Amino acid sequence: MNFTHLREKNKMNTETLKDYILEIADNSLILGQRFGELCGHGPSLETDIALTNMSLDLFGQVRSYYQYIAQLSEEEKTEDDIAFLRLERDYKNVLLVEQPNTDFGYVITRQYFFDVFHLMLMQQLQYSKDETLSAIAKKGIKEVSYHKRFSGDWLKRLGDGTKESHERVQKAVNDLWPYTNELFEMTEAATAATEAGVGVDAGQLKEPYYKEVSELLKEATLEVPESKYFHKGGKQGVHTEHMGYILSDMQFMQRTYPGMKW
Amino acid sequence: MSEKKNWPLWEIFVRSKNGLEHRHFGSLHAADADMAMENARDVYTRRNEGVSIWVVESKHITASNPEENGEFFEPAADKVYRHPTFYELPDELKHM
């Protein structure tokens, strides 16, 4: 018997693999950039440092992913090219992570909504057949576990805090909730990666995700929104109006001084 | 964040390596012990300084009064014989 066709089916096309890695990596890049904007603007010195620490954790992960993509690319590319020289439509991050730092309530809610998903994803990705992705996930688990602890603790404090903190964080929860469903959307690349044993079936994370998030919201004395309408498009490169501003800020140096190094 | 002004001060002690004692690293503000612990982790151990953290609210520390330094510490100044440097050690004894 000839099993070649089976092997072919399980072998991933490199371009598809790169697309899949971008889907994961761009989330960390854009969220890291949002945190970076807060450097020196945190509500207290201690939280300011905590937010920048998390930003650096995320950028560390991004570097590993982009170095891997650069390695997989046929043309000569560096991690910086991938981070700074793409057009808006080429970024595959979910819409959630590009939402603005409206106030500390939004920062924490956005972070918590992403962290719960991120940790679940890493916990599955560590079993990827792709050794590089598996290694990045194993290292990321410890970092992301702390992120979730930080954002979850703060969400409880704000929700169960003063009248003002409760109202403001509830507003953030209501506004950001419609962006959560996109986390579980399966693109073609994600489906192919999952079939090849490289990627994670995000759809399976949906139920445990909403269970965990809802429980914490209740503990924080917050209402769980009942939105039936959800935004999506980020994974296809169709972003909200905020994305252009993030990129112009982030790409400015490399566009103005091409090839510049620190 | 008017609340912030009321956050109490905490003293942070970090043990840098197994086998060494906790040392005072500094102080920070936090609403409670849990937050103090997380803040301490973020402020004082991000350069890989520690393996263990103690936090204690500053008000629980009783400090000696600098104005009493005379009666407290000066009487010890002229009692060099309290240092164990007057013993004759056998040559075989190393690392003392």
Inter-chain touch B31–A153, beta carbons under 8 Å: no
pLDDT digits (tens, 9 = 90+) for B30-72: 999 999 999 999 999 988 888 999 999 999 999 999 999 888 8
- The answer, for A209 touching chain B at a CB cutoff of 8 Å, is no
Rounded CA separation A159/A149 (Å): 15
Flag whether pLDDT at A13 surpasses 80: yes
Structure tokens at B36: 């103090």
CATH class, A12-256 region: mainly alpha
Q: Per-residue pLDDT for B86 more than 80?
A: no
Mark B23-32 as b/e (b = at least 16 C-beta within 10 Å). eebebbbbbe
Q: How far is B62 from chain A (nearest CA, A)?
A: 25
Give the pLDDT of residue B16: 87
Cβ(B28)–Cβ(A154) below 8 Å: no
For residue A42, the chain B residue with the least C-alpha distance is: B1
Q: For residue A122, is pLDDT > 50?
A: yes
Our CA-based measurement puts residue B65 at a distance from the nearest CA of chain A, in whole angstroms, of: 29
Task: Give the mean model confidence (pLDDT) for residues A40-58.
Answer: 93
Which of A209, A68, A63, A216 is closest to A130 using CA atoms?
A68
Chain A contacts in chain B segment 10-69 (CB below 8 A) = 28-31, 34-35, 38-39, 41-43, 46
Q: Which chain B positions have a beta carbon within 8 Å of A150's beta carbon? A: 38
pLDDT at A12: 81
Confidence of residue B96 (pLDDT cuts 50, 70, 90): low
- Contact residues, A window 29-58, toward B, CB-based 8 Å cutoff: 43-47, 49-50, 53
Model pLDDT, residue B79? 83
Find, in chain B, the residue whose alpha carbon is nearest to that of A150. Answer: B38
- What pTM does this model have? 0.87
Between positions 79 and 138 of A, the ones with CB within 8 A of B are 104
Instruction: Taking residues A34-51, report their average pLDDT.
Output: 92
pLDDT tens digits for range A14-33: 999 999 999 999 999 999 99
Interatomic CA distance for residues B6 and B55, integer angstroms: 18
pLDDT digits (tens, 9 = 90+) for A93-114: 999 999 999 999 999 999 999 9
Contact A53, B46 (CB under 8 A): yes
Asked if residue B2 has pLDDT above 80, the reply is no
**Given CA atoms A72, A77, A81, A86 in this order, what sign does their dihedral have?**
negative
Task: Give per-residue pLDDT as tens, A128-169.
Answer: 999 999 999 999 999 999 999 999 999 999 999 999 999 999
Domain ranges of chain A: 12-256
Model confidence pLDDT, tens digit, residues A182-224: 999 999 999 999 999 999 999 999 999 999 999 999 999 999 9
Measured between beta carbons, the chain A residues lying within 8 angstroms of B41 are 146
Q: What pLDDT does A136 receive?
A: 97
Instruction: Using alpha carbons, list the distances in angstroms from residue A59 to A80, A104, A195, A214, A229.
Output: 12, 21, 28, 29, 31
Q: Kindly identify which residue of chain B lies nearest to residue A44, measuring between CA atoms.
A: B4
- CA separation for the pair A48, B24 (Å, rounded): 22
The pLDDT of residue A7 is: 47
- Phi first, then psi: give them for residue A214, nearest 5 degrees: -65, -40
Chain A residues near residue B7 by CB distance under 8 angstroms: 44
Interface ipTM above 0.85: no
Backbone angles phi, psi at B11, to 5 degrees: -100, 135
Within 8 A of B29 by CB-CB distance, chain A residues are 44-46
More confident of the two residues A103 and A11: A103
Interface contact flag, B1 A43, Cβ < 8 Å: yes
- Give chain A's radius of gyration (CA, Å): 19
How confident is the model at residue A20, as a pLDDT?
A: 97
Identify the residue among A45, A46, A57 best suited for mutation to test binding to B, counting B beta carbons within 10 A and taking the highest.
Answer: A46
B5-33 pLDDT, tens digit per residue, is 679 999 999 998 776 899 999 999 999 99
Nearest CA in chain B to A165: B1
Note whether A46 contacts B31, CB cutoff 8 Å: no
Please provide the DSSP assignment of A182-214 as one string: GGG---HHHHHHHHTTSS--GGGGHHHHHHHHH
